[in-house]
Amino acid sequence: MKTKIKKAILSFFLFCTVTSMAESVDENTIPLDVEKTNLHFGFIKLTDCASLVIAKEKGFFEAEGLNVKLTAQKNWVILLDNVIKGALDGAHMLAGQPIGATVGVSQKANVITAFSMDLNGNAITMATDVWEQMKEHIPQDADGKPIHPIKADSLKPVLENWDGPFNMGMVFPVSTHNYELRYWLAAAGIHPGFYTASDSKGHTDAEVVISPNAPPLMPSYLNSRAIMGYCVGEPWNQKAVFADKDGKQLGVPVVTNYEIWKNNPEKVFGVTEEWAAKNPKTHTAVLKALIRAAKWLDASEANREEAVQILSRSHYVGAEAKVLRNSMTGTFVYERGDRREMPDFNVFFRYKATYPFYSDCIWFLTQMRRWGQLKEDQSDEWYTKTAEKIYKPNLYMEAAKLLIEEGNIEESEIPADGETGYKPATTEDIFIDGKVYDGKKPNDYIDSFEIKAP
SS3 255: strand
344 Cβ partners below 8 Å, 6+ apart? 119, 120, 258, 262, 263, 350
* Amino acid occupying residue 378: Q
Q: Give 388's Cβ-side CA count (13 Å radius).
A: 8
How high is the pLDDT of residue 20?
Answer: 43
Q: Work out the burial of residue 251: count CB atoms within 10 Å of its CB; fewer than 13 is exposed, 13-18 middle, 19 or more buried.
A: buried
Q: Pick the closest to residue 363 from 437, 426, 432 (CA basis).
A: 437
Q: Which residues of the chain have pLDDT under 70?
A: 1-25
What is the H or E stretch that residue 208 is in? none
Q: Pick the closest to residue 91 from 274, 284, 286 (CA basis).
A: 286
Q: Are strands 331-333 and 111-116 parallel, antiparallel or unpaired?
A: unpaired
340: left (phi over 0), alpha (psi -120 to 50) or beta: beta
Decide: 256 and 125 in contact? Cβ < 8 Å: no
How high is the pLDDT of residue 327?
Answer: 87
d(CA 424, CA 359): 9
Decide: 138 and 146 in contact? Cβ < 8 Å: yes
Residue 189: CB atoms within 10 Å = 12
d(CA 276, CA 398): 14
How big is the chain, counted in residues?
Answer: 454
How high is the pLDDT of residue 162?
Answer: 96
